[in-house]
Each structure stands twice: as structure tokens, then as C-alpha cells.
Amino acid sequence: MSVTIRPCVGKDNIWEVDIRVLLPDGTNLRERREAPVPGKSAALRWAQDRERVLVRDGKPKRERVHKEVPTLRDFGPRFIDGHVRANRHKPSGVAGKESIIRRHLVGRLGSKRLNEITQRTCSS
């Protein structure tokens, strides 16, 4: 177990704490962040308290949220509106992108989810 404190670069009276803990099950745990308190001695006390909490409880597990990935057919119009028109591309550029999506991409890859499309998928 160790606690290291160093000043944050470019910030006055803000300290970065680096806490390393070896849990009883053999897992190494590291937490590095800005101390929420000003002053070096206050940051050291906070880091030592946080170290005790990590030894006692471990780090809480965050559940991954799986988002639904759209198909290319569903994403095409969203791309045109949300990126191409939002970035004020020329009308000819918008028409060209719409044409490429409609003629070349949707026919071949329209039913695939975006995360399933790879270079190998496109070349076969």
C-alpha cells in the first residue's frame, strides 16, 4: 500500500494523489485523481482515508451499459442530418453522400449493424 502526492501542473494549491493498494485476493488496485481538498497535508489525510476505504471495500464495479447499435440503413439519414447538413456541406456534397449511401452501401451492408462492418466485410 502506498500513497503518493504531487502538485497538479498548472493549478495552484491542487494536489494529485496516487493510491496503490494490494487487496487480500491479490488484486492490485490503483486510483489516481485530484484531491477534493486544498493543501498538501489535507490532501495527504484525504488520500490515507481513501486508501483505508479501498482496502476495506475495494473499488465498486461499474455495470456496462450496452447500447443498441443501429444498422447502416437506419444510421444513413442520421449521418446526413446530424453531420453533413449540421456542418453545412455544400448541396452537391450532401447529394453525393446521399447517393453513395443509397446506391452503394445500403444495398450491400444496409442490414448489418455498424459495429459488425469491417474492412473484411467490405472487401468480400
pLDDT along the chain (124 residues), means of 10: 87 90 88 92 94 86 83 96 95 97 93 91 70
- The answer to whether residue 25 is domain-embedded is yes
Q: pLDDT, tens digit, for every residue of 83-104?
A: 999 999 999 999 999 999 999 9
Sorted by sequence, the CB contacts under 8 Å of residue 23 that are 6+ apart come out as 29, 55, 58
The boundaries of the domain holding residue 32 are 2-57
End-to-end Cα separation, the chain, in angstroms: 53
Say what the alpha-carbon torsion angle 47, 52, 58, 62 is, to the nearest 10 degrees. Answer: -40
- The answer to whether residue 63 is domain-embedded is no
Q: pLDDT, tens digit, for every residue of 60-73?
A: 777 778 889 999 99
- The answer to whether residue 88 is domain-embedded is yes
CA distance 86 to 89: 8
Count how many domains the chain has.
2
CA distance 97 to 86: 14
- The answer to whether residue 66 is domain-embedded is no
User: Do 43 and 77 share a domain, yes or no?
Assistant: no
- The answer to whether residue 95 is domain-embedded is yes
CA distance 75 to 115: 12
101, 59 Cβ separation under 8 angstroms: no
Q: What is the CA 99 to chain-centroid distance, rounded? A: 33
